[in-house]
Amino acid sequence: MKLPKQRHRTRKLISIQSLSFFSVVFACLARAVPVYRKNPSRPPVADLENIESSAAIVLMVTALESHVNRLMYFEPQGLSTKDNLSKKLGAYLPQRKYKRLLRQTEEITACRDSIIHAHVWEETRKFDGTGI
């Protein structure tokens, strides 16, 4: 018995993993934020606080950049994936309307870069009996 000839279709999928990152980001922040709220006037020193916040920052910026790169696939705006996130966002978001968001994105990207590039930081802290 001869089987009928199958018609093959090709479908293009432009996929990004970033949506999956958000549940991890929010779980990390849910563990870190209560520590900050208890001690808002002191610098972060708790291991859980630092690790959870660092993981959230890395994943959040990666997710945002992934979304923008996908947008660039459809609307390139003369950009490439080698351009930094601030330049990419600046091409899509009007400066006047999103000036604050663009500034905050630069800050969070700098935080991500300092985490990812594994800089070694040395700091000396003195503690008195007040816990601050």
Domain with 35, as residue range(s), is 20-116
* Interatomic CA distance for residues 49 and 31, integer angstroms: 7
Q: Answer yes or no: is 2 within a domain.
A: no
Q: Answer yes or no: is 87 within a domain.
A: yes
33: CB partners within 8 A, 6+ apart: none
Q: Answer yes or no: is 101 within a domain.
A: yes
How many domains does the chain contain in total? 1
Tokens representing 3 are 């089987």
Q: Answer yes or no: is 57 within a domain.
A: yes
Cβ neighbours, 10 Å, residue 44: 13
Q: Answer yes or no: is 8 within a domain.
A: no
Tens-digit pLDDT profile for the chain (132 aa)?
Answer: 677 777 778 887 777 888 888 899 999 999 888 877 877 776 656 555 678 888 999 999 999 999 999 999 999 999 998 999 999 999 999 888 999 999 999 999 999 998 888 767 777 877 777 655
Cβ neighbours, 10 Å, residue 40: 6
- Integer-rounded Cα Rg, in Å, for the chain is 21
Nearest to 127 by CA among 45, 10, 17: 45
- The pTM assigned to this predicted structure is 0.72
